[in-house]
């Protein structure tokens, strides 16, 4: 908090100050340096280096992705690589970022999984969405559908499970995507990463809060007070 | 896959079959038994026990929460406890479930955090939402807001960050909450857990897929082909 932007810009910041400024422990900063997530600082003495604004910004982005977004370090690395050398179109960048932050599904394979995967492909087709056939997000949705089926013991149709949410997601995406464009390529790319990861996290929390609000209006009355209490 | 419901109902299933049926490794099943996430089986010999349908269902629910929902084991434990002894109203159960699966924020405290927390409280008030003042989801939203502010370096207003998403979340919640009621208290409680955790996961994936669809229409043309490519 104490550092001014000027001090950062002058590049005269040491690793302890970098840590203080970003809230990332020194040991973690060193780890990120070793792993190549942070570019090396400017060497100022045999065992001393100084860091600039770019390091502060990079660290804050890493921290947001890891701590709030829950993105694994390998995914963060891939995201940062795509920010350094962005693909030709914003659409390609979006694909790269999504794939980087989308963990591999844990249960892929087997006849149940293949059936569910085909059902998900059909859902996307019915929605008329233009999605790459091998998008990892399709595998993730397959995982969720399989989990629904396992928990309920029913051969749930993905349209019944996800149809309403898909239409809401489409509305949200139509509002969000055009807003991603920033003042330059770097800002646009950062907006895309932040919008995808933090925006997703924000929506999940807002959805839970909205559940609480709706529930307090519909279901919050005393037990037996209406038909919606569940254990009278 | 090979087990019939009848075999399960007869309670004659051994731990290896329980593992096969649910896809949860035997060592993990034993761990859940030790931790009390699964009730003990019926002892049939000195070092042998048999398990029934309730164990299969419980294991599938745990697996869905852990693997797909990413809920930490402590949260799963709290959720299962609330399913065993559900609170008086469905609204109370919803609060219990949400709190159980909502991890504690990592950065709470400090003047920046307190400011952001007050801004989040104001957002919820402006939206007219009825939320408990100490709901952990408010702390989580504070974390997300702080991360936005850190990454952008701007003192972002939560209304600007989250307003549109909040309105969409309210629409979605209005459609989702009334559908939670099942055939009995147990099913309703399970629907609530599944809807909150798997439904949240599903929406996040659907949102990313919808981004890809919108982006492929708006931004997917060849570099330089329109004004929305970002690095020509």
pLDDT digits (tens, 9 = 90+) for A21-70: 898 999 999 999 999 999 999 888 888 889 999 999 999 999 999 988 88
Looking up tokens 């989308």 gives A102
Candidate from A89, A174, A211 with C-beta closest to B177: A211
**Position B25 pLDDT exceeds 90:** yes
Q: State residue B203's pLDDT score.
A: 97
| Core vs surface per residue B176-201: b (16+ CB within 10 A) or e | bbeebbeeebeebbbbbbbbbbbbbb
Whether residue A202 contacts residue B162, with contact meaning beta carbons closer than 8 Å, is answered with yes
The percentage of residues in chain A with a pLDDT greater than 70, rounded to a whole number, is: 88
The percentage of residues in chain B with a pLDDT greater than 70, rounded to a whole number, is: 88
Cα angle, residue B159 at apex, residues B155 and B165 outer, rounded to 5°: 120
Q: Do A230 and B151 touch (CB under 8 A)?
A: no
For residue B6, the tally of other CB atoms under 10 A from its CB is 9
Instruction: Give the CB-side neighbour count of residue B193, counting CA atoms within 13 A.
Output: 35
**Position A104 pLDDT exceeds 70:** no
For CA atoms B96, B102, B103, B108, the dihedral sign is negative
**Arithmetic mean of pLDDT over chain A:** 85
Q: How confident is the model at residue B148 (pLDDT cuts 50, 70, 90)?
A: very high
Which of A104, A87, A83 minimizes the C-alpha distance to A196?
A83
Distance CA A216, CA B94 (A): 10
Q: Extract the tokens encoding B110.
A: 């400090």
Q: State residue A124's pLDDT score.
A: 97
**A148 touching B, CB under 8 A?**
yes
The answer for B 167-206 residues in CB contact with A (under 8 A) is 168-178, 181, 185, 188-190, 194, 196, 198-206
Is B142 or A218 the better-scoring residue by pLDDT? B142
**Arithmetic mean of pLDDT over chain B:** 85
Q: In this structure, are strands A48-50 and B42-45 parallel, antiparallel, or unpaired?
A: unpaired
**Position B3 pLDDT exceeds 50:** no
Q: State residue A148's pLDDT score.
A: 93
Q: What is the DSSP string of B31-76?
A: HHHHHTSS---EEEETTEEEB-HHHHHHHHHHHIIIIIT---HHHH
**What mean pLDDT do residues B45-54 have?**
87
Instruction: Give the CB-side neighbour count of residue B59, counting CA atoms within 13 A.
Output: 26
Q: Which of A24-33, B105-114, B127-136, B178-187 has the lowest mean pLDDT?
A: B105-114
**A98 touching B, CB under 8 A?**
yes
**A54 touching B, CB under 8 A?**
no
Q: How confident is the model at residue B218 (pLDDT cuts 50, 70, 90)?
A: confident
What are the residues whose beta carbons fall under 8 Å from the beta carbon of B52, sequence distance 6 or more?
B8, B9, B10, B11, B13, B41, B42
Q: Residue B76 class from Cβ within 10 Å (0-12 exposed, 13-18 middle, 19+ buried)?
A: buried
- Write the pLDDT tens digit of every residue in B159-188: 988 999 999 999 999 999 988 888 877 788
- Tell me which of B115, B230, B232 to substitute to probe the interface with A (most A C-beta atoms closer than 10 Å): B230
Q: State residue A13's pLDDT score.
A: 86
A48 phi and psi angles, rounded to 5 deg: -145, 140
What is the DSSP secondary structure assignment for residue A45, as one 8-state letter? E
Chain B residues in contact with A105 (beta carbon < 8 A): none
- Write the pLDDT tens digit of every residue in B189-204: 888 889 999 999 999 9
**A61 touching B, CB under 8 A?**
yes
Collapsing DSSP to helix, strand or coil, B13 comes out as strand
Strands (E), chain A: 42-45, 48-50
Q: State residue B200's pLDDT score.
A: 95
Q: Extract the tokens encoding A125.
A: 């087709």
Collapsing DSSP to helix, strand or coil, B156 comes out as coil
Is B31 or B84 the better-scoring residue by pLDDT? B31
**Position B229 pLDDT exceeds 80:** no
**Position A151 pLDDT exceeds 60:** yes
Distance CA B26, CA B24 (A): 7
Strand-pairing partners, residue B42, are B50
Q: State residue A219's pLDDT score.
A: 67
Cα angle, residue A212 at apex, residues A206 and A216 outer, rounded to 5°: 150
The percentage of residues in chain A with a pLDDT greater than 90, rounded to a whole number, is: 51
**Position B72 pLDDT exceeds 90:** no
Looking up tokens 């599938």 gives B60
Q: Which of A17-21, A78-82, A106-110, A174-178 has the lowest mean pLDDT?
A: A106-110
Q: State residue B1's pLDDT score.
A: 40
Q: State residue B226's pLDDT score.
A: 41
**B53 touching A, CB under 8 A?**
no
């Amino acid at each position: 908090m104490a550092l001014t932007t000027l001090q950062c810009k002058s590049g005269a910041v040491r690793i302890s100050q970098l840590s203080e400024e970003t809230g990332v422990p020194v040991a973690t900063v060193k780890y990120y340096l070793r792993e190549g997530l942070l570019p090396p600082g400017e060497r100022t003495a045999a065992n001393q280096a100084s860091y600039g604004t770019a390091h502060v910004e990079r660290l804050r982005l890493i921290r947001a992705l890891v701590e709030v977004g829950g993105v694994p370090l390998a995914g963060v690395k891939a995201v940062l690589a795509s920010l350094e050398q962005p693909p030709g179109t914003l659409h390609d960048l979006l694909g790269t970022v999504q794939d980087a932050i989308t963990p591999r599904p844990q249960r892929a394979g087997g006849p149940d999984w293949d059936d569910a995967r085909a059902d998900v492909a059909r859902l996307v087709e019915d929605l008329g969405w233009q999605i790459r056939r091998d998008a990892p997000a399709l595998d993730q949705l397959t995982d969720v559908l399989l989990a629904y089926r396992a928990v309920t013991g029913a051969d749930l149709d993905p349209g019944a499970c996800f149809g309403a949410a898909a239409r809401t997601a489409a509305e949200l995406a139509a509002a969000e995507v055009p807003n991603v464009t920033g003042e330059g390529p770097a800002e646009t790319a950062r907006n895309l990463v932040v919008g995808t990861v933090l925006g997703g996290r924000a929506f999940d929390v807002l959805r839970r809060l909205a559940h609480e609000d709706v529930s307090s209006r519909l279901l919050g009355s005393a037990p037996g007070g209406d038909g919606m209490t569940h254990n009278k």
